Amino acid sequence: SSKEFMMIGHARCGMALSRSASLLTSQKTIKQSFSGVRSILSLNHLDVEKLTQRKFSQGISTRVISTPDASPSPSIGQLVASLAEKFPNMDVLRYDHKNVKWSFKHIDHYADCVAIGLLEQGLQPGDAMLSWLPKHFCEQHVLQLACSKAGFILYELDPSQAINDKEGAKKALKKALEDTEATCLFSQEAGDSVNYVQLCREVIPEIRIFDFQKGMPFFTPRFPNLRFPIHTGFEMNGKEGMLALKHLVVPSGEMNNLLGDVKISGETPLRGELKIGSDGLPMKGAILSNNGVIKAQIWPEISAMIEKKYTEVEGVGVVF
């Protein structure tokens, strides 16, 4: 009927008006959105740095704008390398032990060579090293820099406990090897009437029967992560179960190739803390980055070196 026809016409007209209104609303929303985009694109560089968050109108989108990260801060090893390039012949360290004096060029070169030597043995950045060396040994400072250059994490255990308490020192060494899961152990030969190589044999019995000269990989079920027990002496007789540090000094210049895609910076972890409990045994603590070590000045000789200060390192040792 004509009445029904008119009702259908009104309904269709209403639907068309509704669609038209919806289309206008969508166009308005899109226009506002593009207006927001244009306003962001028109910002200059300083505006972008200040802008942290932008909400488009109508709640359509929320976008976070951030600036590129700043250049990473240099590691300790990189700082010393830079100083060695600028001031190669500046003397920075003299040791009573072994009576040696080193310039920036000397210590940077030795640290490079040790880092390369360890990496060429298949070690990886992030591996744990355990130093059982006195703080006044030149090898200790070379090792600190080498770990910074290669990205290793260095734990340090004071060996002086063995002077008055050999059994306690052996227990402490055993606990440190277990807790740190160290890949390498660095020990002196002897000092203050203590034969440290012999103590290492007692804690790691496999050293007594192993011979690195046969070319087999070292393994001990007591410390499954330990691959290289290393001493700082020169003679190998009676120490075949340990590597001499001098044999890991490799001046190949292949540091960057060995590191591959790993980028070392001031934020790279470097120094693992060993806290000594009331029972005399060490416990793992915090791990500091290169920047953290500098800020806390945990390694005074290294801190002085970075400040271009000359340091006389006192203390002697005995070599069997």
Annotated domain spans of the chain: 2-64, 76-313
**pLDDT for the residue 229:** 98
The predicted pLDDT at position 37 comes to 38
Is residue 68's pLDDT more than 60?
no
What is the CA angle 118-123-125, rounded to 5?
100
Label residue 14 exposed, middle or buried (CB < 10 Å: 0-12, 13-18, 19+).
Answer: exposed
Residue 294 CA to its chain's centroid (Å): 13
* Residue 155 and residue 129 in contact, taking contact as beta carbons nearer than 8 Å: yes
Mean pLDDT over residues 65-82, rounded? Answer: 81
What's domain 76-313's superfamily in CATH? ANL, N-terminal domain (3.40.50.12780)
Q: For residue 304, report the phi and psi dihedrals to the nearest 5 degrees.
A: -65, -40
Residues of 261-278 as b/e, b for ≥16 C-beta within 10 angstroms? eeebebebbbbbebeeee
Position 214, amino acid: K
pTM, two decimal places: 0.77
pLDDT one-digit tens code per residue, 129-143 = 999 999 999 999 999
**Among 158, 164, 157, which residue's Cα sits nearest to residue 180?**
157
Using pLDDT thresholds of 50, 70 and 90, give the confidence band for residue 67: very low
Q: Which two tokens stand for residue 142?
A: 């070379």
pLDDT value at position 318?
A: 59
Judge whether residue 55 has pLDDT over 50. Answer: no
Per-residue confidence (pLDDT) for residue 60, from 0 to 100: 38
